[in-house]
Amino acid sequence: MNLIDKALGMHERALAVRSNRMEVLSRNIANADTPAYKAQDIDFRQVLKETESTAMQTTHANHIGQGEDASPGGLKYRVPFNVAFDGNTVELSVEQAKFGQSAADYQTTLSILESRIGGIRKALRGD
pLDDT at residue 46, as a whole number: 83
Task: State the amino acid at position 52 in one-letter form.
Answer: E
Question: In terms of pTM, does the model score above 0.75?
Answer: no
Q: Residue 48 has what pLDDT? A: 73
pLDDT at residue 93, rounded to an integer: 94
51, 31, 50, 48: which is closest to 39 by C-alpha?
A: 31
What region, left, alpha or beta, does residue 123 occupy, with left being phi > 0 and alpha being psi -120 to 50 degrees?
Answer: alpha
In tens digits, the chain (127 residues) has pLDDT values of 576 667 677 888 889 899 999 999 999 999 999 999 999 999 877 887 777 665 555 555 544 444 334 344 688 998 888 888 999 999 999 999 999 999 999 999 999 999 988 988 898 888 7
Find, among 97, 83, 87, 3, the residue nearest to 41 by Cα.
Answer: 97
